[in-house]
Structure 1
Amino acid sequence: MLKTLLGAAAPAKPARGVLPSSRDNPLTIEDGSLNATRRQLAQMLLRDLLRNHGIPLQWIECQMQVVASRSRGSGMTMRLIIKHWDERLMNYCYALQSALVADITRFEPQASEWLHSIAWQLEVAETCPYLTLPEKAFWLGPAKPAPSPTPIARPPRVHVTPIPAVAPMAPISPTPPAAAVSAAAAAALDVDLATPVAPPAETAQEDDALKDLERLFLIRDQALGVPLADDQAAPGYEATQPSAP
């Protein structure tokens, strides 16, 4: 009658002299059992995942519990306990869960048969700044999008403009030196450049000095082909002037 009301058969008793093995019992998680090995695998993969992505190990704790389901039979459920509040961690909880399940499946291909569910638990009362719910208007407004990953900065492409070819310049004839010009001017005037010109005496009058300068300017102008004025006489043909007393 009790079997009919409860709808379950009484567990079979082990044979006399045979002890049940904890590894064969799916409802135990004792050391040496298959569930204990699965718990160690999940905890080890979680630590590796956090370490590889730079997340502190003390932020998340992994606990495994044995469960029994009528539809799926006996198995285990994973509970991830968040010990530290960080908004970045909240934004990437789903990505962390997906990566952890992928790592477990890589080591245990039949993980979908015994891993029934994954639960999250928050124990961040001391570190979470949001301890009360906001008003209704907060939820009616648009949600702020999560920050996109920062792209890798690449150096800008530099466009180099080719320099056009420059035609070679024609050679410039050298300018005749001043000595050659002076020699040509002296030859035109029949003046001996080797003969030094005696400097004027220090006692010369001012008017004599001006006359000498004018005479030199006339010689220069004649050498350069500058025509003389009507009232000017060629050098050497000036009117005779009485000498100063």
Structure 2
Amino acid sequence: MNFHSLFGLKSRPKPLPAKAKTIAAEGPPTIEDGSANALRRQLVQVLLRDVVRRHGIPPGWLDCQMLVVSSRSRGEGMYVRLVMRHWDPRLLNYAVAFQKALMVDIMRFEPRATDWLYGISWQLEVGDTCPYKELPNRSVWQEPAQKPSHQPPQKPAHEPTPQDELKTDLERIFAIRDSDMLMRGEEAGRPARAYAKTEPQKLVNP
């Protein structure tokens, strides 16, 4: 599924002749209503709102702008500019992850986005919400960076061995077999006998 089918377009716009492409490249690139660039801008804006909503980021903290550029080597393309409207250090910490999630969604709906999407940039327009008005002393940059508050999950103290996994699988198999025997006895009209709990044979190391 691409952005043309997402917005109800039956087919892709026909490519411009070579001469028309040259003329368009010479003039200022624009986003006209109904053009492919307009649909691309709408697609990115919709996906941005979806990523913000899906990950619980307050609406209004992030916005996006689409910039149309013309390159001699690649032709006409677009840049996505993510604008931070509200200061929060978490947005900076997870900016790379957010950009990656947005790019994954764009590629899912428009696999050929690499043909026209030249890159993603960030711009800070947070006004007075940022408490850091001036740069700190140079010694700050020489101190070791603080570890992020989000730590990866710690590994269990005891790593399961292959024998542990085999023992667990055997216990599950025996439990299923015992339950099946009890159910078949009840269905046959025989009173369910009290089966002794089956214990797997202990594994002996060679």
TM-score (norm 2): 0.59
Conservation of the 8 A alpha-carbon contact between 1:81 and 1:121:
yes
For structure 1, the residue ranges without an aligned partner over 5 or more in a row are 1-10, 14-21, 152-245
**1:128 matches 2:116:** no
Q: Which of residues 123, 144, 147 is equivalent to 1:142?
A: 144
The structure carrying a bigger helix percent of its residues is: 2
Percent identical residues:
56
In the other structure, the counterpart of 1:69 is: 71
Change (3 A) 1:26 1:110: farther
Number of residue pairs matched by the alignment? 132
* SS of alignment partner, residue 119 of structure 1: strand
Matches within 5 A, 1:1-245: 27-148=29-150
8 Å contact 1:43–1:62 — kept in the other structure?
yes
Give the partner amino acid of 1:61: D
CA shift digits 1:60-84 (9 cap, x unpaired):
1111011011221110011111000
Question: Whole-Å Cα distance in 2 between the matches of residues 115 and 76 of structure 1?
Answer: 5
Counterpart residue number, 2:184: none
Structure 2: distance between partners of 1:147 and 1:66: 39
1:143-197 deviation per Cα after TM superposition (whole angstroms, max 9, x unaligned): 112222586xxxxxxxxxxxxxxxxxxxxxxxxxxxxxxxxxxxxxxxxxxxxxx
Q: Point out which structure has higher relative CO (alpha carbons under 8 A, 6+ apart).
A: 2
Deviations 1:40-60 (A, max 9, x none): 000000000000110012001
Question: Secondary structure at the residue paired with 1:126?
Answer: helix
- Matched with 1:179 is none
- Give how far 1:114 is off: 0.2
State how far apart, in whole Å, the 2-side matches of 1:127 and 1:150 are.
30
Alpha-carbon distance in structure 1 between the residues aligned to 2:152 and 2:86: 24
TM-score, normalised on structure 1? Answer: 0.50
Task: Measure, in 2, the Cα distance between the counterparts of 1:88 and 1:12.
Answer: 48
